[in-house]
Amino acid sequence: MDQVDFLNGKTRLFGIVGDPIEQVRSPEMITWEMQQRGMNAVLVPLHVRDCDFDEVMPQLLRVHNLDGLVFTIPFKAKALSFAQALGPQARQVGAINALARHPQGHWIGEIFDGLGCVEAFRQRGLALRDKRVQLIGLGGAGAAIAAAVAAEHPALLQLFDLNDERSEQVAKRVRSISPATQVVVAAPNVQDVDVLMNASPVGMLSDARLPLDVTDLPASMVVFDAIVKPEQTPLLQLAEACGCTVVRGREMMRGQIARMVDYFNRQA
């Protein structure tokens, strides 16, 4: 009888929870990654309205073949309360973007934004250890990137955010993760820096601005932009024109998916 081959009664369910939901890319990308690895699993979009979240979530977690959830806007902060235990990154950052059902039945949370960035560098054979890193933007993704980069033990991690309090908070966290790393909070600077990372929204969509005031970058520099759309941000355009090595938001996304599926698969 005619039937699809990617779904059956034994399929384990995963979901991405957001409001709105139509723009998410996880269903096609994470499902692909899971099925490539031989998991009988799909990740479906779950449109839970913000006003329904607190009541729907506890019941959704009781669906017995649901093994994991990814959270997107506006639920990244709220999701934390549904984790009964946190992974190392989530403990440091104080936020999660994924929940996995532990084999013992409880839900554990982790955040993969930073791990995805580090994974992208690893995939490209670009070391962060002992490097001098400038990170711009310390919002949700930026703070997670700071924690994950800190765990790689760079020589210097220079931090900038428009919000000073946030910068100091992230600096303190980085110092506790990697005491040997020199941590500086200062205006963005590309002198004596090996790796420039943008995790601010400057350059997103049709924003033609650069996230820092430069006209030139040293060719030896590795330049990363967390922005996914457009693929070629103004910063990456300048970096390529200057002969720099560039690492794109899409590579971080791919890295994040790989690490997330590792996490989901390990619990299964």
Nearer to a copy of itself, 55 or 192 (CB): 55
Shortest gap between Cβ of 23 and a copy of itself (angstroms)?
6
Under the binding rule (CB under 8 A), the answer on residue 50 touching a copy of itself is: no
b/e map 169-184, b = 16+ CB within 10 Å = bbbebbeebbeebebe
Mark residues 201-240: x for contact with a copy of itself by CB under 8 A, - for none: ----------------------------------------
Give CA–CA dist 53/123, Å, rounded. Answer: 36
Give CA–CA dist 87/94, Å, rounded. Answer: 10
Length of the chain (residues): 268
Nearer to a copy of itself, 29 or 155 (CB): 29
Nearer to a copy of itself, 30 or 235 (CB): 30
Nearer to a copy of itself, 65 or 123 (CB): 65
Under the binding rule (CB under 8 A), the answer on residue 165 touching a copy of itself is: no
- Tell me which residue has tokens 């910063």: 235
Residue from 48, 136, 144, 258 binding a copy of itself (CB under 8 A)? 48
Under the binding rule (CB under 8 A), the answer on residue 130 touching a copy of itself is: no
Under the binding rule (CB under 8 A), the answer on residue 254 touching a copy of itself is: yes
Nearer to a copy of itself, 33 or 110 (CB): 33
Contact set with a copy of itself (CB under 8 A): 1-11, 13, 19, 21-29, 31-33, 35-36, 42-49, 52, 55-56, 58-60, 62-65, 250, 254
